[in-house]
Structure 1
């Protein structure tokens, strides 16, 4: 059974959330979507474990059904998650983050380690000098004409709806191991995960550069819950070697999903489902 609601934050923002499963069971699983600047897109992932524990998702402020205007900060996003847990009467939660959601989960753990029962970080966080390798691999997966079109669209100040969809499709299709299916998934996502809050993306990116997670890894390692794992797609254009380095730094297990990219549940749903179910069962004691 799915439940929906709106939670009021202390600064007046109202965040839209969705819960799947029996909300009386504790601790719940909370899924943190990526972006930053996208609405939630993890419904398909939540359904993989919704029978094992209640699974909460939410649109981060300024995205999807969480209408809000104002400056974004990583600290405020951490506070949002804490206030949502209070709304859901959850003293602690199992956090499953994807992409930017792994950065948010990590920063929440730094601020509120007592509220994190377990944590699974999917396809992130990427720390260190990983961006040159990512840009090079993304460029390798694009044809020359696609690269030129992508760069041209990036420079358009006021893109039309179709131009925005085309830009996002070009930006996202290289995230997948299979380029043909990747194009279809990217095109679908470009129409569904809208609108993109580009201001939010830029502001949180600036916050991250001012307070890089890279410099807090020793602190993070000291406060991680006992059950913390990393998972990544072996064919993610973001170098899986960066996740391997992070796993060594944090002394965490890393599972690579073969023949999968940045959204491994699309290309290898059975493997991801099996991993998530094992992890959640262990985390909630089921």
Structure 2
């Protein structure tokens, strides 16, 4: 079946213009919104949308300052939440199913805190992580890398200015350990290092600083009270970020957690059939 693809450019109230894409019949409801991670990367969830676009229209967009959504001003969680609200208005979508990945789970959660009436259902994929997850993440990444790879990554991170090839090398080294199979992971990371560009490092830094000053962890009780009736967590069992952090999140939010075996931080790459089955069940249950 051939699915209809549409796209457009929506002006925000502060002058930014966000590029969006939709797959499927946009007159159908509920609509699904895929929220990509980063922060500072363009949308990369093009392989996920077709898994469910025959069930519901699937919208994606490049967050401001990434991909085809140019922006050189400041970044904040509040502004990114406003962006999503304004996009829903532009799409004539009163409420939507939010599926966030990585940083996109943080964005989905913060959107739910402010606009719970506009969240029909929510699936948090590979995040958000709570507790001291970074210590375990760093240790597991070191285990998956050789000493030479670790040293080279440190060298590249220390450069004030990097060439195009150095940037690609840095991102490949930083990302290949996201995957359970690091040999295939190297291929996916190298591919992503060229496609998911340019990285908006200032955006990454600004939102990272705000996240440390006002962590989502401090709002979990409020989030639990505002969650839609159908909300779940999905994670790769072999994500370097410890699955125990997702288990703690599931416990504090009283949500079911599904672990995809043999998959890391981007489970649709390593276990596409398992992810497809889960997403389709989730969206079908929302529609029912």
Alignment of 1:203-282 (within 5 A): 203-282=206-285
**Runs of 5+ unmatched residues, structure 1:** none
Match of 1:151 among 142, 151, 154: 154
How much does 1:128 deviate?
Answer: 1.2
SS of the residue aligned with 1:166?
Answer: helix
Match of 1:165 among 168, 172, 189: 168
Distance in 1 of aligned mates of 2:173 and 2:287:
39
SS of the residue aligned with 1:43?
Answer: coil
How much does 1:26 deviate?
Answer: 1.4
Match of 1:39 in 2: 42
Does 1:74 find its partner at 2:77? yes
Distance in 2 of aligned mates of 1:55 and 1:281:
13
How much does 1:159 deviate?
Answer: 0.2
Match of 1:121 among 121, 124, 127: 124
Q: CA-atom RMSD, angstroms?
A: 0.5
Match of 2:183 in 1: 180
**Runs of 5+ unmatched residues, structure 2:** none
How much does 1:207 deviate?
Answer: 1.1
Distance in 2 of aligned mates of 1:66 and 1:207:
22
SS of the residue aligned with 2:240?
Answer: coil
Match of 2:98 in 1: 95
Does 1:197 find its partner at 2:200? yes
Match of 1:140 in 2: 143
Match of 1:30 among 28, 33, 57: 33
Distance in 2 of aligned mates of 1:283 and 1:155:
47
Per-residue displacement from partner, 1:4-35 (whole Å, max 9, x unpaired)? 10011000100000000000011200000000
SS of the residue aligned with 1:217?
Answer: helix
Moved over 3 A (4+): none
SS of the residue aligned with 1:30?
Answer: strand
Distance in 2 of aligned mates of 1:3 and 1:257:
31
Distance in 1 of aligned mates of 2:229 and 2:28:
21
**TM-score normalised over the length of structure 1:** 0.99
Distance in 1 of aligned mates of 2:286 and 2:78:
26
Distance in 2 of aligned mates of 1:47 and 1:158:
38
SS of the residue aligned with 1:63?
Answer: coil
How much does 1:98 deviate?
Answer: 0.1
SS of the residue aligned with 2:47?
Answer: helix
Distance in 1 of aligned mates of 2:131 and 2:269:
27
The number of residue pairs the alignment matches comes to 285
